[in-house]
Structure 1
Amino acid sequence: MATVLEFTSPAEAFPLGTIFENLPGATVELERLVPHDALIVPYFWVRGEEMTDIEAAFESHAGVREVGLVDSLEDEYLMRAAWDREYVGILSALSEARLVVLSATGTSEGWTFEVRGEGHEEIGEFRSYCQEHDIPIHITAVHALLPIQGEGYELTDKQREALVAAYERGYFDSPRATSLEAVADALGITQQSLSSRLRRGHRRLIAATLVQE
């Protein structure tokens, strides 16, 4: 059964965390990871800071090839980074264990990851890799993915909780009966975390119900 691992890591332990040295109020959210030849290319969003030259906010980091701006929308910036597969860190650990990144959000206080493996074996490989290479992680939860009404798609516990809480409180009503801040407060999480869970939950539901492959 597919298994979800949740863990945290210090801000500086992940290459993109170098932005917090220049912009401590920023929030970074991984969008997706794309393997490309000898490189791993992460796409990610940067929010919470106004930047005239966002690319300059990222300092060089071991193994990083480049960081570039892809698109921007008001105070949100979609970025693309590339670094060597040979770089030893969280990305290489995820790649070696064949884990899929469901969500990853970073602030100056640290990173929060939610990743998926086909079973406990992959999760064990990831933990062993991190221990062997002194990669600092703190595991906060391990649980199975939950199927929805017998269909062939799945939500994590947190995505389901966020979607249901937002629905029950009228966040999806028109006009809205509550705010993102109010739902986040009720769940005891930040607005950024709630927004991420809602967006990823919507993506999974749409992919499973409206998109035919």
Structure 2
Amino acid sequence: MATVMEFTSPADEFPLGSIFETLRGVTVELERLIPHDTLIIPYFWVRGAEAEDIEASFESHAGVTGIRLIDNVDDEYLMRVKWEREYVGVLSALGESDIALLSGIGTKDGWHFEVRGESQEAIGEFRTYCQEHDIPIKITALHALTPMQGDGYELTATQREALVLAYQRGYFDSPRESSLEEVAEELGITQQSLSSRLRRGHRRLIGGTLIPP
């Protein structure tokens, strides 16, 4: 059965983490990971800084061979990066394991990742790789994906919890009866984590209801 694991890691344990040394207030959110030949090429968003400051902060990063600005939406900037294959860390663990990255959000306080394995064995292999290579991770949640009402789409338990609570508190109403901060506080998570869960949940719901199979 497909299993989702959430875990945290120190800010400097992921190559992009060095941005927090110069831009303390930014948030970095990985968009997706794409296997490509011998490299993994992710796209990620940066929020909370000006474009020129972002590019300057990425001039020298361990594990990075190149970064460039792709696009921007308001004050969010989409970047593209190539990694060094030899770099050992969370990135290499993702590349060597048969699991998919669902989300990755970083701030100066650390990284929060959500990954999916098609089996518990795949998750176990990822954890073993981290242990054998002294990659510090702290597991915060582990749960199986369960179909909802037989409609052919899946939500994680945390995504469902976030969507339901946000709905109950009037977050989706217009005008809103509750803020992102208030819902996140009730769940005991950060606003960034809640935003990611809502977005991933929306994607799964839309994919399972509005998009033809």
TM, length-normalised to structure 1: 0.93
Letter in 2 for 1:28: V
1:69 shift after superposition? 1.0
Aligned-residue identity in percent: 72
For the residue of structure 1 that corresponds to 2:206, the secondary structure is helix
Q: Which string of whole-angstrom CA distances, capped at 9 and with x for unpartnered residues, describes residues 4-57 of structure 1?
A: 111111111000111101111111111100111221111111112334342111
Separation in 2 of the partners of 1:42 and 1:51?
19
Question: How many residues are treated as equivalent by the alignment?
Answer: 213
2:38 counterpart residue number = 38
2:9 counterpart residue number = 9
Separation in 2 of the partners of 1:124 and 1:11?
23
Q: Which string of whole-angstrom CA distances, capped at 9 and with x for unpartnered residues, describes residues 58-102 of structure 1?
A: 242333111111111222111111113332221221121111111
For the residue of structure 1 that corresponds to 2:52, the secondary structure is coil
Letter in 2 for 1:131: Q
2:23 counterpart residue number = 23
Could you list the structure 1 runs, at least 4 aligned residues long, displaced by more than 6 angstroms after superposition. Answer: none
> Residues 147 and 155 of structure 2 are in contact (CA less than 8 Å); yes or no, is this contact kept in structure 1?
yes
1:188 counterpart residue number = 188
> Residues 40 and 95 of structure 2 are in contact (CA less than 8 Å); yes or no, is this contact kept in structure 1?
no
1:84 counterpart residue number = 84
Q: Which string of whole-angstrom CA distances, capped at 9 and with x for unpartnered residues, describes residues 182-204 of structure 1?
A: 22222222222211111111111
1:172 counterpart residue number = 172
2:163 counterpart residue number = 163
For the residue of structure 1 that corresponds to 2:159, the secondary structure is helix
C-alpha spacing 1:139/1:190, structure 2 compared with 1 (3 Å): closer
1:208 counterpart residue number = 208
> Residues 158 and 197 of structure 2 are in contact (CA less than 8 Å); yes or no, is this contact kept in structure 1?
yes
Letter in 2 for 1:98: D
C-alpha spacing 1:86/1:212, structure 2 compared with 1 (3 Å): farther
1:135 shift after superposition? 1.2
Letter in 2 for 1:30: L
